[in-house]
Amino acid sequence: MRYQTSGTCSTAIDIEMDGDVIRSVRFTGGCNGNLKGISSLVTGMKAQDAISRLKGIRCGFKPTSCPDQLAQALESIVAGE
């Protein structure tokens, strides 16, 4: 699934799932090292666990962040959108 982000430096997130488990995450743009770290940490995690940890994280004064956008993308997947 490709998710178009909004309000962040990254422009898209590519997510591969195996049922409810995250198999891989790749961000387009954004802070390369930090986003590779987030991707590595959530790989193998259940989507709902990642959502509960990442949802609502803000980047500075922005109302969202790359981790929050990942949580929103995962919520879309879980909801079947």
Query: What is the pLDDT tens value at each position of the chain, 81 positions in all?
Result: 999 999 999 999 999 999 999 999 999 999 999 999 999 999 999 999 999 999 999 999 999 999 999 999 999 999 986
What is the per-residue pLDDT for 42? 98
CA–CA distance, 21 with 56 (Å, rounded to integer): 21
Q: Which helix (H) or strand (E) holds 18?
A: strand 10-18
Tokens of 13: 């997130």
What is the per-residue pLDDT for 3? 97
What is the per-residue pLDDT for 49? 98
Spell out the domains of the chain, with CATH numbers in brackets: 2-78 (3.30.390)
CA–CA distance, 81 with 65 (Å, rounded to integer): 21
What is the per-residue pLDDT for 46? 98
Q: Which helix (H) or strand (E) holds 10?
A: strand 10-18
Tokens of 24: 């891989």
Angle between helices 66-78 and 32-42 (to 10 degrees): 40
pTM of the model: 0.95
